[in-house]
Amino acid sequence: MQMNKWSGLALAAGALALSASVHAAPPTAAMLSNACAGCHGTHGGSAGPSMPSLASQSKTAIVEAMKKFKSGERPSTVMGRLAKGYTDADFAAMGEFFSKQKFHPTTQMVDAAKAKKGASLQEANCSRCHLDEGKDGKDDTPVMASQWLPYLQMQMGLYQSGARKMPEKMAEKVKPLSKEELDALIHFYASQK
């Protein structure tokens, strides 16, 4: 008796729920992007030192990164698998969403002397693409400012091992630099807010 009454209720509610969901709109940019925030922070502002902030990134940089993760061209751990769950249109929507979020400044321990040295190196070598001290992400150039040191170090490691391919213009500039100079650059970008 109790069971009958109960399953009747469940059925009615189930039918109601079913009819409601039929009219659901396809996932919005926010719906797609919010799912990333567990690892990349709310609105793409990362609190985890090996995860990049996506907030205020250039749309193209995000789309390009996701496509390269998906194809395997850019080495990754989880990103290659996750990227396979999305279409190019999804990447564009996520890129648009994160590009509109406020820049996420981080407070981290950087070596002031290295950062100072890095400032002039950036000016001389990187500033034509990494605009405004790495704060401005343009086209496929990512925002570098305030990214976590460990993240920047891990990516530079991948570039140097050849696992991650540098764009030609970047390779030209990076190859002549010493390990110490690259380290200084990384400290500079991490220190920028």
Partner 1 sequence: MTLERRSFLTLFGAGAGAATLGMAGCASQPGSGGGRKVVVVGGGYGGTIAAKYIRMMDKSIEVTLIERNDHFVSCPFSNLVLGGMMPDLSKLTIKYDKLAANHGIKVVQAEVTGVDAAAHTVTTSKGVFAYDRLVLSPGIEFRTDEIKGFDENVTPHAWKAGPQTLLLKKQLEAMKPGENVIISIPVAPFRCPPGPYERASMIAMFLKEHKPGSKVIVLDGNPDIVSKKGLFLKGWKKHYDGIVDYRPAKKVTEVVPGAVLVEGIEEVKGAVINVIPPQKAGHIAHVAGVVGPDKKWCPVNPMTFESTIHKDIHVIGDSSIAGAMPKSGYSANSEAKVCATNIVALMNGNEITELSAINTCYSYLSRKEAVSVTGVYRVNKEKHVIEPVPGSVGVSPDLSETEAVYAESWLRNILTEMST
Nearer to partner 1, 50 or 60 (CB): 50
What is the chain's Cα-based Rg? 22
Does residue number 36 form part of the binding site for partner 1 (CB under 8 A)? Answer: yes
Site for partner 1 contains 35 (CB under 8 A): yes
Q: Is 110 in the site for partner 1 (CB under 8 A)?
A: no
- Residues in the interface with partner 1 (CB under 8 A) total 47
Give yes or no for residue 4 binding partner 1 (CB under 8 A): no
10 binds partner 1 (CB under 8 A): yes
For residues 178 and 166, is the Cβ–Cβ distance under 8 A?
no
Closer to partner 1 by Cβ: residue 83 or 126: 83
Contacts (CB under 8 A) with partner 1, residues 50-89: 50-51, 77-78, 81-82, 84-86
Taking the CA atoms of residue 181, residue 182, residue 183 and residue 185 in that order, the dihedral angle to the nearest 10 degrees is 90
What lies within 8 Å, CB to CB, of 39 at 6+ separation is 48, 51
Task: Look up residue 78 and give its DSSP letter.
Answer: S
* Exposure class string for 77-108: b at 16+ Cβ within 10 A, else e: eebbebbeebeeebbbbbbebbbebebbebee
Binding residues vs partner 1 (CB under 8 A): 3, 6-7, 9-10, 13-14, 16-18, 20-28, 30-32, 34-42, 46-51, 77-78, 81-82, 84-86, 90, 150, 154
